[in-house]
């Protein structure tokens, strides 16, 4: 099996949102925020459609394929472009409400608390990385990470991410990420772990 990684195009948006909705169906934070809804996967698909649009505008979206079929995706924000402009955020509110419903304010508060510990030093930010469950454990996530971290290394910049799964922490540690902060929430939402990968010189193996 050969995993290819290429830049995503606008035409990939629906398929990437669909596969990410399956990849994050068991995500602790998203499951907690959406536990009251029976259509959780459809809501996640809307959420990742928004994420795709924002990262395509302010960053890079990589898609992993096997025999031409998308099986995973990584959404990166460029250095200095962590959040979409205020106008874009306001325009997305109706869509966000369709995702989180009554928990929209709670979701926004969780995001704000995680954002409050985001480093100010220039870096590449891995906003989302997901692999369809049928393809997990087969090197797809590793291929996506190598592509994105290769960009960070070429720029001589560190990389940063957040995760709420212990198993993911172990995978990211293998690629040079170190625990940066643990963020707990008074609301009872599962905690986040932020991780930082120091800058590497281009000549470093």
What would the pLDDT profile of 105-155 be if each residue is shown by its tens digit?
A: 898 889 889 988 999 999 999 999 999 999 999 999 999 999 999 999 999
**Domain locations in the chain?**
3-155
**Structure tokens, 64:** 């992993």
Query: Would you say how long the chain is, in residues?
Result: 205
Contact (Cβ atoms closer than 8 angstroms) between residue 135 and residue 71 = yes
Domain 3-155 classified CATH 3.40.50.720?
A: no
pLDDT tens profile 48-81: 999 999 889 889 999 999 999 999 999 999 998 6
59-66 and 3-7 strand pairing: antiparallel
pTM of the model: 0.91
Q: Is 100 left (phi over 0), alpha (psi -120 to 50) or beta?
A: alpha
């Amino acid at each position: 099996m050969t995993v290819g990684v290429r830049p995503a195009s606008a035409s990939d948006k629906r398929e990437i949102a669909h596969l990410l909705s399956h990849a994050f169906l068991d995500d602790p934070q998203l499951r907690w925020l959406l536990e009251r809804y029976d259509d959780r996967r459809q809501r996640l698909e809307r959420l990742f459609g928004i994420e795709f649009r924002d990262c395509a505008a302010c960053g890079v979206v990589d898609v992993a394929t096997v025999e031409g079929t998308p099986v995973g995706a990584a959404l990166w924000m460029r250095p200095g472009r962590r959040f979409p402009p205020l106008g874009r955020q306001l325009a997305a509110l109706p869509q966000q409400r369709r995702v989180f419903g009554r928990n929209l304010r709670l979701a926004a508060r969780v995001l704000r608390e995680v954002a409050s510990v985001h480093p100010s030093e220039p870096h590449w930010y891995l906003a989302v990385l997901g692999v369809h469950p049928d393809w997990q454990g087969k090197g797809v996530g590793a291929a996506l990470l190598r592509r994105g971290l290769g960009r960070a290394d070429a720029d001589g910049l560190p990389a940063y991410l957040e995760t709420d799964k212990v198993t993911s922490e172990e995978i990211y540690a293998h690629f040079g990420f170190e625990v940066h902060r643990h963020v707990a929430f008074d609301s009872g939402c599962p905690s986040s772990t932020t991780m930082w990968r120091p800058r590497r010189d281009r000549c470093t193996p």
